[in-house]
Structure 1
Amino acid sequence: MLAEHQTTAFDLLAPASLANPYPLYKQMRETDPVYYSEANGFWVLTRYSDVEDALRDDRLSADRSSLFASQLGGLDLGIIQNFLKLTGNFMIEKDPPEHTRMRKIANQGFTARALESWRSIIQDTTDRLLDRVQDRHQMDIVADLSVPLPALIIADIFGVPEKDRGNLIEWAVDIGTFWGAPATDNIGAVARKADRSAVLFTELMQEIIAERQHNLGTDMISLLISAYTENGMNLEQIPSLCILILNAGHLTTTDLIPNGVNALLSHPEQLQKLKDNPALLNSAIEEMIRFDTPAPFLFRIAKETLTVGGKKIPAGSVVALGLGAANHDPAKFQSPEIFDITRSPNEHIGFGQGVHFCLGAVLARMELSICFSTLFRRMPNLHFDRDLSAVIKHTSLVFKGFETLAVKF
């Protein structure tokens, strides 16, 4: 199904495109902003206005469960049956009115009172991680900070026993890797790992839920048990919400931190501006999210035939909403290629928009604020380690970040 008048084939999965997709996004936006990728079998939107409209268009379904089967490339769907069972209740992949009902209940785990109580958890966890590397005068931002920080914070917020936290994080990464539509020649192994981890994650969550039912506390799982019980919902759905919170909060923040550090260190004049005026931190965080969006694409399924930018998108089509591309659209942002921590207004859509606006956005912003303020207070001379090249993620359209980012201080 080649779109009419299409003349250029864009390779979204080329190593160079995954490492730095913004030149490709610019070319697509200027020449074919509603592009059908024959190679990938989906439509790609790259203009801010189109992506913003699509995020609010109820003709585009968030239920992409059918894509998991296509990811397997002909392998037996049975190898991900436990993964499908766990993710089948993902709120992020439900449409209203079911999504509305689930969201209302999930919000009870993110009350202002709960969020404020988590501030000390975030600060303590950040300090503990930096304590480990302080005397080394070097670290990998990814392995030493951005991978463990959000995972440990959420495990603490969930009230997961210390002995289980390492496994919990490993299982969440396995599940999130397959969920993120990886570009790999070994999809069967990735799928089987995700399925096994779905079993183990569910079993651990069920054990914790059973224990909390008799001993409710102030942790998030206790809050969710109360909310689900009061609304007559099945507690068996809680593990699905927990893995969603863990993956959304863990994987996105894991990429936001190194992306932000890289942007600041690559633009020393902006870093100095932040050091001179720490009150710019919140503005800087919003610019980090816009400038190098950690989740560059969201996928939707067309429930009916619709027209976008003069192109007819048939019912059943997969549509990739280019958040990263939209956040660099010059029709919306003046000089979008420039990293400017004082940018205002900054109406980026890094956390989505509409009914699916990121549930954990407030928590993510709090984590980033505490992480960056602590990092540059404790390590004011932070700089790139020129002896160790950074390694950029190169396996997924859904996640954009670093595998390693070495720094010295």
Structure 2
Amino acid sequence: MKQTSILAATLSPLLLVASCGATGSGDSAQTQGAAQAGDWDGEFAITEHGSFAEPWAAAFIPGTQMLFVTEKAGSAKIVNTANDRQLDVTGLPAVDYGGQGGLGDVAFLPSENDNSVGTRTIYLTWVEAGDSDTRGAALGRGQLVCAQATACQIEGLEIIWRQAPKVTGRGHYSHRIAFSPDGEHIFLASGERQKMEPSQDEQSHLGKIVRLELDGTPAGDGAIDGALPDIWSMGHRNILGMDFDAQGRLWEVEHGPAGGDELNLVQKGANYGWPLRSNGEHYDGGAITDHSADDGFAKAAIGWTPVIAPGSMTFYTGDLFDGLAGNLLIAGLKSQAIVRVAIDGETATETARYDMGARIREIVEGPDGALWVLEDGDGGRLLELRPG
């Protein structure tokens, strides 16, 4: 292990203030950060815990110090964070690797937390090939069995949900997993696959958040009349972070086009406007109609131009970092930072941006409140962050 210490936040004051129901602070912000009264001072002590081949997601096995890390090309490792020993994982699915696709998210049932690795229910997402050069995201469920000291195996892995329709291209799968606070439902992000218009099609999964039973069947309460029964919200682009706050509300962060990254409070049956409305523009400079108060679409809590390019997000629940509990932490790719957001009711405000000097793909909270981040790309490091 290699340990360093950095002061990750600049000390410039917060310039922009969020407003309820409209785009909040974050527009045109480059670096922000200020330790607030009574807060942890923004300094990280950083410890390296090895590197990975294009890591994409990570999750602690509940009740343990074991961190499961997925690698985009289709492999996975389990890291014993107490001693950095890595365990190989077998029984993984065949993935369609390329572009933004491959092995994706990993999640465990929070209720299975018996303080030993043993056998656990595991959920994985990945990209599955289809006919005629098409592909789409899939959600699978199996049992993670760790019967050996050096390896674990996934047994009985079966696909319980498929993104439909499968389409050409290799972008915007999203496939992030979030369990409802009561542990009874799965919320799954389903990106619009760079096809745009299907985000407004109620008979397509593309550009949606879906709500499922734990076995992958639609939750069944029909959030949108006439739509596919598993659709919870629509009009999304490429969601790469989802989490529930302390009040049990679901939030998501998604990539805009050229500008217009969004943090949204997800409401049942809401339409977030893509591609009819966006505060960004097309990559070729073509205009997209901006949101307006009367356009009938749900509005972002924060919009970022220039973009932060989110990789994932988590609401911090621990007490290791004074003053951080209840704040949202977003892993930044293009921004190469951890973006801190405070939530007050339905108002969201970016309060700090911690420069990490590398693209950050994933951020998770450890059992004792430490933060664990994965750098993006081949050789991406696993870093443990504690107050400096």
More strand by share: 2
TM-score by length of 1: 0.28
More helix by share: 1
